[in-house]
A and B are shown apart, each in its own frame.
Chain A
Amino acid sequence: MTKFKVCAKIHLFIIISAIVIAIGLAIGTICHFCAGGFFNYGGEFTDYKSVTVRYYLPVTEDEALSVCDDALGGLKQFEFAKPETDKGGEITYKFVTSTDTAKLEEAVAKINETLGVRGDLNKNCAAVHTGTVKEGGNKAITFASIALAAAAAFQFLYFIVRYKLRAAYSALLACIHNLGVFVALVAITRIPVGAEMIAFGAAVVFITMAFSAIFFDRTRKNFANEKYAKSERLEVLDNSACEVRMLTFTSVCALAAAALVFAVFAAIAQMFAGALAPWALIILGLVAVGYGAMFFTPAVHGAIDETCEKVIKSLKTRKKKKSAKTEKPADLSDGD
């Protein structure tokens, strides 16, 4: 893997990235109109149907739960809460909106029949509700975007000073690309998305910037290295990419392994697969960053560098030609 030359395969990486992003956008757009959202929004963003059961002492929580479990046995909830009060408690089961209301009402009737004590003011009571969630997080997304745009602008300026304009362009492109691939992968995989998605997006940009700094620093050092004095620029870039690839790969794998450890413990804590969602998002982010840092960024930087060199060369040639043209008549006049 450390010998894999990426610069020559720029078209392949552009195609891969374009396909991933296009599929992500397509799926996201279709789902936006047909399945309730660009992403598969998690519990805090989705509409729901719920069964709320209020019970009062002497009915205990265990009794109430056992009655509810019996009645709602065949129905699969995605969220469950059972806060207690000094008089009893409230149990809420949340279901996806496609759940049959008739079945829920049937279950509620059963719960009411078992728990309800008519004529008592402290009546145990269950009811079916339909909840429409107001989309939150708009402000968080706006401000995070402003912060990330400002960070990218700073990185651009800093890289211009430290590693030249072409590296700054490549780093900016790397940030946009990695974020785009991450968003596309989330849209494709339909992993439930919560409020943490915004922070994970910021983390993707954060890691990309760190890896970009490492790669461009290595590139700059190699260009200054006598060992590469006679090498082609693309070869130097390829070698630089190879040199940092193992470090990048190890780091991404270590972070992914850490995310897996957290995922396992989260699954143990919650005892259902939904607990894995945030960690699955992190792993998708790491895939996007790993692919971007190891393959896309060096390849794109190679292409940008090559284009810049060509432009500089052609400008030089033009300048030479121009100066040759202006010098010729001077020679003639001298000869005269």
Chain B
Amino acid sequence: MSKVKSAIITTLLVLAIAVAAFFAVISFPVENNVKRLNSIASNINLGADFSGYAYTTIYPEGVITAETYENIEAEKYGDKTDDEDKDKQSNYAEVGGLYYDTTKYEDLNDLKCKVACDAKSLNERFGQKGYSSYTVAVEDGVSIKISVPTNYTYAAYKGHDSSSQNSNFTTVNSVLSSLTAYGELTLRTTDESISLSNGTNYDTTVRGNDDWVEIAKVDGKNTYSLADKYKYKDETEADFFKSITSSTIGGVSRITFNFTDLGRTRFKEITTRAYSSESKTIYFCVGNTVLINYSCTATTDAKSLTLQATDATFVENAAITMNSAVNGGALKLIYQDYENALTTEAAGGENAALLAFIASIVVLAGLCALMIVKYKKLGAVVSMIAVVFALVITYALFLLNIQVTYAVIFTAVLLLGLFMFSNAIVFAETKRMTESGRTMQASVKDAYKKVLMTVTDMHIVLVVVAILLATVGVGEVAACGFISLVGVIASYVLYWFTRFMWYALSSPVRDKFAFAGLKRVVYEDD
């Protein structure tokens, strides 16, 4: 390759790296409505270690905090200070740092049992969300505290991107409120022609039409769940639904209701009536929370019903909650209205994300320095490609919405190590070849040939492991799997790109041995 070609290729590559690196790491103000252009790195979603938790506590009806208790008592008794007198009259008894209504819950142990049971159900529901970390804790035996990662980006966490912060906060609140929905799954309608109710006397209508007992009625603000009261003897939701699942492919989210044979028959009856009604709409509710509605455009007579939606999170939440409700995970108690979550600072410290980023740069610089010391200009070539590799990982984390945690960072470092390791193997082989007196070109060619299968085998095995982790694993493991998949492929592609750059950059150089930090071995003739 000529000097000019080599120079052009090098310049183009360096320019591309510089531009990509600039947008990857530099955030800067701009003079328009956007105000600030945040870097790619600062737009990567962070786990709780780097952006904190959002948490909420749910209290069963009749359970109150010490603060509320004090307020109630203060309102009730004003300036009275006789504590004994208060205790005598108060309906509330203390349990840990909380108070419960003794008239509502005569048996505290029964309340504690139900709360523990509900916490178990919630733990299972949140477990299906695939969070890198989350906690469901029973506090004082009578309340449930749930913590999930905020999923903020660095820009959102630091307040540089308020729209992203608001959007993430809304998502977290929607997840927490949907997944903590209490009560059984019911199908409801506001249309009397579907429920065959006359709007005032439900009993007569329902009794007169047993086919419709699982359809309840939503009437303005007052919700009447007739399902519990009038369902067939020994019938439960599980008799109608096998499972409720969700999936998102190509930006389209789907929720699928898998019916039992009985459920199929019932749903056919329901949709037949709904189709010929005015509103045609059936609401799927858990307790009093409407999770999804179905507009009947035809009679449904199938093993399953699939509905489409655009919001993946919403569909997933609805599916998890409804599936839990139909499979014995319905919350047993009635809980107070959901309060917006509170967000904590990063579990790893206020500046954990920034310092982890600096540490990543230090590690990258250290590895590059090691390669340069050992392989001189060839080391510089590998270092340049290592920077490309780091950029690929950064952009992949951003584009694939992978939540960065300690494990993901370590996986990224591991993959960088894999790339360096692959190159180190071929460099060691080249060195061995040159020691046998071959020319540099012949050594490089033979070395790449010799280690071809070693490197390929390694990458094939690892890419399969990565695919399995990404597809079968959940939460942090799946995130590590996804980034491993990208990293292993990038490592293999860039391994060959290093070969090309080695060729391109060393072509104009006269002493190719010195370029790779090697010494020419000259055998003297006998």
Interface on A for B, CB 8 Å cutoff?
A: 43-44, 47-48, 50, 52, 54, 79, 81-83, 85, 90, 118-119, 121, 123, 125, 127-140, 143-144, 146-148, 150-151, 154-155, 158, 162, 194-196, 198-200, 202-203, 205-207, 209-210, 213-214, 217-218, 221, 247, 250-251, 254-255, 257-259, 261-262, 264-266, 268-271, 275, 278-279, 282
- Provide the bound-state CA to CA distance between A130 and B138, in Å: 8
- Provide the bound-state CA to CA distance between A194 and B135, in Å: 11
* Residues of A with C-beta under 8 A to B413: 255, 258-259, 262
CB of B355 within 8 A of CB of A151, answer no
CB of A144 within 8 A of CB of B66, answer no
Of the listed stretches B125-133, B185-193, B295-303, B380-388, chain A binds B125-133
- Residue from A151, A200, A206, A266 having most chain B Cβ neighbours under 10 A: A206
* Residues of B with C-beta under 8 A to A199: 405, 407-408, 410-411, 476-477, 479-480
CB of B348 within 8 A of CB of A205, answer no
Interface on B for A, CB 8 Å cutoff?
A: 52-53, 65-67, 70-71, 74, 79, 96-98, 116, 119-120, 122-123, 126-128, 132-141, 145, 342-345, 347-352, 354-356, 358-360, 362-363, 366-367, 370, 405-411, 413-414, 417-418, 420-421, 424-425, 428, 450, 453-454, 457-458, 460-462, 464-465, 468-469, 471-477, 479-481, 484
* Residues of B with C-beta under 8 A to A146: 472
CB of A262 within 8 A of CB of B481, answer no
* Residues of B with C-beta under 8 A to A162: 457
Partner of A134, one of B53, B138, B407, B418: B138
CB of A140 within 8 A of CB of B473, answer yes
- Provide the bound-state CA to CA distance between A154 and B468, in Å: 10
* Residues of B with C-beta under 8 A to A148: 465, 468-469
Q: Which residue of A lies closest to B466 (CB)?
A: A206
CB of A205 within 8 A of CB of B465, answer yes
CB of B128 within 8 A of CB of A270, answer no
State the main secondary structure of chain A at its contact with B. Answer: helix
25 contacts between A and B (CB under 8 A): A48-B137, A50-B139, A81-B344, A82-B344, A83-B343, A123-B71, A127-B67, A129-B97, A134-B119, A143-B472, A148-B469, A155-B461, A158-B464, A196-B405, A198-B476, A198-B477, A202-B477, A203-B407, A203-B410, A210-B418, A262-B356, A262-B409, A269-B350, A275-B348, A278-B410
CB of B462 within 8 A of CB of A206, answer yes
Known contacts A131-B145, A147-B469, A154-B464; is-contact A136 B136 (Cβ 8 Å): yes
* Residues of A with C-beta under 8 A to B70: 118, 123, 125
* Residues of B with C-beta under 8 A to A144: 469, 472-474, 477
Partner of B74, one of A54, A118, A195, A254: A118
CB of A206 within 8 A of CB of B465, answer yes
* Residues of B with C-beta under 8 A to A255: 413-414, 417
CB of B458 within 8 A of CB of A213, answer yes
CB of B137 within 8 A of CB of A134, answer yes
CB of A261 within 8 A of CB of B406, answer no
CB of A269 within 8 A of CB of B351, answer yes
